[in-house]
Chain A
Amino acid sequence: MLSGARSGRRRLAAFAALTLSVSLLTACGDDSGPPTLTWYINPDNGGQGRLAEQCAASSNGAYQVDVQVLPNDASQQREQLVRRLAAQDSSIDLMSLDPPFVAEFANAGFLRPFDPGDVATFTTGVLKGPLTTAYWKDQLVAAPFWANTQLLWYRKSVVQAAGVDPGAAGFTWDAMIKAAEGQNKVVGVQANRYEGYMVWINALVVSAGGEIVGNVEAGKDATPEIASPAGDEAARIVGGLARSPAAPPAMPNAIEEDARSSFQGSRGAFMVNWPYVYNAAKEDVASGGISQSVVDDIGWARYPRVTADRPSRPPLGGINLAVGNFTKHPDQAVALVKCVTSLPNNIAYMLDAGNPAARGAAYDDPKVREAFPMADIIRTSINDAGPRPITPYYNDVSTSVQLTWHPPGEVEAPATPKETATFMSDVLQGKRLL
């Protein structure tokens, strides 16, 4: 017994010594070999991880890449990054950043601006929409990687019966709602109290020629602009749809997937949504959820207009890549960004993960055109897209809108936009809590 205990103790000591020496060795290894860059990514199908591996392999040993996956929810991604960056975490070499957060992060000094010499590499051939979200105070602080936009999806049978053409240049929200009402069908939108609702409201306001907030570089002194004719138009459409028979029953709680299921249902006529819905519908056929005839009946067009005489400005999403300001390996991180955002990799990622590329030329690739029959509309939509307000106080702006515009059935012009403007201004000035 005694000898057993003794040998056990010896084994434990040996294990401790081994652990210590291994950790010492690893610590030494950090300085000698190529640096390992940590890239914080938003969850995807593994496409970013594959790009990371590929870029590390083609760097000729200049760097290794360790991919860390952030939480699912965009606001939780932001929370985690802000917490780490506020503590000057040097392990964040590279991050996949939602465009609305770029201004906030850059303003706080969390992002390392790209050298003027590199700017052309990251901007040439990039579509206009994502490009606008990559700058803060005239400095390029992020590189557009992929971009997203919403299209108008319609059921061919319904528009035929209603006698409208969603692809026509002057197709408006009013015409769409009227067509759906006439056919006793519904229009799918995202109107739950969340970021997706802000996406819709912002698209309506900018499509009407206005903006939700102006003078953004003034930080908390920015001016709410939503109480304007454009804001009123947006409120009229949101409230009007919510109170019309064309509103799906669950509209006040609808997120992307709810809009999709009502669109694919028997009363579906129109829907504004991201391009993933097309492949998702095909997958639903494969799993037996819907029949092939539903997919065959799906048509697509550019985001509808608010006024017939002004082209719509579709929503903009996607991911920008940014280098952390506290990284110990800025050169290697920039090299990784160059590799990931290159045109071939833009194409590869679009085909792999299904996320639209930020570079326009990607849409001319035959494989892309085959996988995305609506490639041209996606490209022009992303190019003409109206980004959400670019302000370091984006969270406050967005939440102010979401709080005052919910439930959509109570949205009225001009009362609601006016209320939003007052509330937002108070929140920005620290006179109200969110």
Chain B
Amino acid sequence: MAVMVEAPAPQTAEVTDRARHERRLGLMLSAPSFLVMVFVTAYPLIYAVVLSLYNYRLTDPEGREFVGLGNYATVLTDPVWWTDFSTTFLITVFSVAVELVLGFAFAFVMYRILRGRSIVRTAILIPYGIVTVVSAYIWRYAFQLDAGFVNQWFGLGDYNFFGQRWSALFVIILSEIWKTTPFISLLLLAGLVQVPEELQEAARVDGATAWQRLKRVTLPNMKAAIMVALLFRTLDAWRIFDNPFIMTAGANKTETLSFLAYRQNVTLVNLGAGSAVSVLLFLTVVVIAFIFVKGFRTDLSQVRGDR
């Protein structure tokens, strides 16, 4: 079945005086906060780029020397960076994929449920309300060798989850899913609410099955919401820090890129290489955002609930 969508009326070329005045007022009102934003985000960014061109240790001020792009070459040719990159990639892909599926399920439950709606919604949202560090501790204790209950429940004996890479990553991804699925389901619920009920009705009258309705009506109409949810969660997962920090402290190749940046900058006070790592991390974030926005042709400004 075809869905007719009304084309938006073409904008009139003439801009009235009043509109022009309002636009100017808007600019003036937002200018101060815009300037503050530029200052607080642009300044550290530029400073980090400058620092990344030096070999500079905070505790060895005399040893500071200009190395140009040397730090970037060092970082990008170092196996540590690529191990951390692959770890971050794995965590992002697996957690976001599972979260999307689960998030949909939860969103449908929250949307369709008739009785006890507020209780169900609250129950689903609770994990998201817990501070990430706290949830990381909860999961760490649950899977710990001596005090954890998971091994007892599943009869795993002395299996040390944090003793090797894959099982440790499994727990980290699991806790990540538990923690942020509510967020994605919330965004999807917002998208779900916007799917016009008439379209569903029409499809039902035409004899579409539930699966067909989902595939042909619901999902296409939620595309923007899905993309926003995916983009937010991907960027979030890409910057993951707390869970590996608390659970494994980066041991057994569970260190992520944010963790690497933290270690270089804070632990080793190696500001040159640390800034290079941070700038590269920033660039990967930009690339991800670019891929989502351009690659999936998502217009973020369209996600306003005015469809």
Contact = CB atoms under 8 A, between A and B. Distances in A.
Given A79-B267, A109-B61, A395-B268, A433 B75 contact: yes
Binding site secondary structure of chain A: helix
A431 interface: yes
Interface residues of A, number: 22
A82 B269 contact: yes
B214 to A, nearest CB: 47
Interface in A393-409: 393, 395-396
Nearest to A221: B63
A123 B264 CA distance: 36
Nearest to B55: A430
Contacts of B55: 220, 430
A433 B78 contact: yes
A180 B232 CA distance: 60
B272 interface: yes
Contacts of A110: 59
B101 interface: no
A219 B58 CA distance: 12
B59 A108 contact: yes
Contact of B61 (A83, A108, A395, A431): A108
Given A433-B78, A433-B80, A82 B67 contact: no
Given A430-B67, A430-B273, A432-B78, A220 B267 contact: no
A86 B267 CA distance: 13
A433 B269 contact: no
A162 B114 CA distance: 80
A432 B63 contact: no
A393 B81 contact: no
B283 interface: no
Contacts of B266: 79, 83
Interface in B67-84: 67, 70-71, 74-75, 78, 80-81
Contact of A392 (B59, B260, B263, B270): B59
Contact of A219 (B62, B74, B263): B62
A104 B59 contact: yes
A434 interface: yes
A392 B273 contact: no
7 closest A-B pairs by CB = A108-B59, A433-B80, A430-B55, A433-B78, A219-B63, A104-B59, A219-B60
A433 B59 contact: no
Nearest to A86: B58
Contacts of A395: 267-268
A251 to B, nearest CB: 16
Given A430-B70, A433-B273, A107 B267 contact: no
Interface string A383-399: 00000000011011000
B80 A82 contact: no
Contacts of B81: 433
B140 interface: no
Interface string A195-237: 0000000000000000000000001100000000000000000
Interface string A99-111: 0000011011110
Contacts of A83: 266
A75 interface: yes
A82 B80 CA distance: 24
B78 A220 contact: no
Contacts of B179: none
B78 A430 contact: no
B233 interface: no
B74 A107 contact: no
A392 B78 contact: no
Contacts of A396: 268
Interface string B258-300: 0010011011111011000100000000000000000000000
Contacts of B260: 433
A434 B79 CA distance: 10
A399 to B, nearest CB: 8
B60 A220 contact: yes
Nearest to B264: A433
Among the interface residues B70, B272, B273, which one has the most CB atoms of the partner chain A within 10 A? B273
B59 A220 contact: no
Given A433-B78, A433-B273, A82 B57 contact: no
A393 B267 contact: no
B60 A108 contact: yes
Nearest to B272: A430
Interface in B171-220: none
Interface string B108-126: 0000000000000000000
Nearest to B74: A431
Interface string B36-75: 0000000000000000000101111111000100110011
Nearest to B81: A433
Contacts of A430: 55, 67, 70-71, 74, 270, 272-273
A433 B74 contact: yes
A57 B106 CA distance: 64
Nearest to B63: A219
Contacts of A220: 55, 57, 60, 63
A431 B268 CA distance: 15
Contacts of B273: 430, 433
A108 B63 contact: no
Among the interface residues B58, B263, B264, B272, which one has the most CB atoms of the partner chain A within 10 A? B58
A265 to B, nearest CB: 18
B257 to A, nearest CB: 12
A107 B59 CA distance: 6
10 contacts: A107-B60, A219-B60, A392-B59, A393-B57, A395-B268, A430-B71, A430-B270, A430-B272, A433-B78, A433-B273
Nearest to A101: B59
Contacts of B58: 82, 86, 108
Contacts of B74: 430-433
Given A82-B58, A220-B57, A434-B80, 11 more contacts: A86-B269, A107-B62, A219-B62, A220-B60, A220-B63, A392-B59, A430-B71, A431-B74, A433-B264, A434-B263, A434-B264
